[in-house]
Amino acid sequence: MTDAAFRNFIDGRFDEPSATFDSIDPSTGTAWAKLPAAGEADVDRAVEAAHRALRSGPWRTTAATARGKLLVKLGDLVAANAGHLAELETRDTGKIIRETRAQIAYVGDYYRYYGGLADKHEGAHVPIDKPDLDVTIRREPIGVVAAVVPWNSQLFLSAVKLGPALAAGCTVVLKASEDGPAPLLAFAEFVQEAGFPAGVVNILTGFGQECGRRLTSHPLVSRVAFTGGPSTARAVVRNTAENLAYTTLELGGKSPVVVFADADLDSAANAVVAGIFAATGQSCVAGSRLLVERSVKDEFLGRLKRKAEAIRIGDPQDPATEMGPLATLRQRDWIERVVADSLAAGGRLVTGGTRPAGDGFYYPPTIIDAGSSDLPCMREELFGPVLSVLAFDSEAQALAFANDTPFGLASGVFTSNLGKAHRMARDIHAGVVWVNTYRAVSPLVPFGGYGLSGLGREGGLDAIRDYTRSKSVWIKTSDEPIPDPFVMR
């Protein structure tokens, strides 16, 4: 039984959808809302609206400072309405309410940050070697941006794309995942309230073949910013062969957390639990591979087991709940297959591994003592609350295990030895290395991965430049006429 309905936001208006689908509440496994299924015609309208806004609408002449003020206002609106957006995200994705509230409130800072930078990314004057020419380099918006985000942390993942894109003067068509898009469709209300001109921001949802493929291959799209999995990313890259759009990819991870015997084990245990069981493990930076020095392995596993078994699983809308359901049934099915294969291949189950009784897509905090880096749980990104553990005997072996993955998004190192911390941070192949902490983020810091974890970076000062292109302007300053090139002197 559905009790809510959402619409796409195109050219400054909320459209009545021509097709819809049910959104499933992961905590009950039942439909709770009707969502719009955007087709190719909807995508075309959204991209064309964004192109008009970029080329001939008021956005084209909106000063950078004014763009920044709109972004700051949007950040304030998101923060003020974080409770409402959080309830929607929790209902649609199963992420616990206390996490969605905190994360969405912080999202406002990203819009404020890029609002402050909007009039501070500058061009240049080139001291060229030709005395009668003056050369400047302008930074201009790259064009219409196709931003594609997954369901998890979607308001955050949208902010790191929308913020710099709008600060740079681009226009955007944002595609929310068909899994749990309700909060992003509701977020469109605040884009409208903030006062962005029609067509500057368009938000829709739909399925990959019709909606996603058309958007990322559209001839009027100049930039694609994608967050998701490697298999979908390959399809996106193939799509951009049609429009040659500049593309950045923030993909998955199989992030190692390395705990040395000299670490503060209580602090490390808390970080490991937060790194893998927060958001029910459905995070691209989930610390899913624990590498622990053999001399403290048994003690450390004991701590983790006690902490994992004490986690309160339940209704994600209850502030007392510490872990909610997985977002989709297919994700739970995938995790169960990989866990079963890993145990059959020799892994030892420390705790968890059996779904609880009752409705919803719940799966318990699970720890597997892998014993080998070849087990499926050590190789595959599960995107769920499963921690795979491997012991190491030396710093060199820890580093080898940490880098034994085609992914390279995030990593953690726990040690009290400063030299060891610096060596590991230098040599781990990952875009983020947290030392004696985990899952810290800030709008001031770039974020991205190596290998199958993606291309490009999001966040930080340089992000705006990725939404611009340079234009070289040559001005002749001499009053002397250009000589006839065919007259020999």
* pLDDT tens-digit map of 272-324: 999 999 999 999 999 999 999 999 999 999 999 999 999 999 999 999 999 99
Average pLDDT over residues 20-33: 96
| CA 122-470-214 angle, 5° bins | 115
CB distance 110 to 162 below 8 Å? no
Mean of per-residue pLDDT scores for the chain: 96
Confidence bin at 30 (pLDDT 50/70/90): very high
Going by C-beta distance under 8 Å and a sequence separation of 6 or more, which residues neighbour residue 348? 368, 369, 371
- H/E run at residue 75: helix 64-80
Residue 489 scores a pLDDT above 70: no
Alpha-carbon distances of 155 from 102, 103, 151, 275, rounded to whole Å: 12, 9, 9, 20
CB distance 205 to 36 below 8 Å? yes
Going by C-beta distance under 8 Å and a sequence separation of 6 or more, which residues neighbour residue 252? 229, 230, 284, 381, 383, 407, 409, 452, 453
> Rounded to a whole number, what is the distance in angstroms from the first to the last CA of the chain?
87
Alpha-carbon distances of 147 from 104, 342, 430, 463, rounded to whole Å: 19, 36, 24, 14
Average pLDDT over residues 7-33: 95
What CATH number has the domain spanning 8-251+449-473? 3.40.605.10
Residue with token string 């309700």: 182
Average pLDDT over residues 85-106: 96
- Indicate the domain borders of the chain: 8-251+449-473, 256-435
- pLDDT for the residue 488: 74
**CA 417 to CA 438: how far, in whole Å?**
17
CB distance 6 to 38 below 8 Å? no
3-state helix, strand, coil in the chain (%, to 5): 40, 20, 40
According to CATH, the topology of domain 256-435 is Aldehyde Dehydrogenase; Chain A, domain 2 (3.40.309)
CB distance 218 to 146 below 8 Å? yes
- pLDDT for the residue 209: 84
Instruction: At 229, list the tokens.
Output: 């999995």
Catalytic residues, which ones? 250
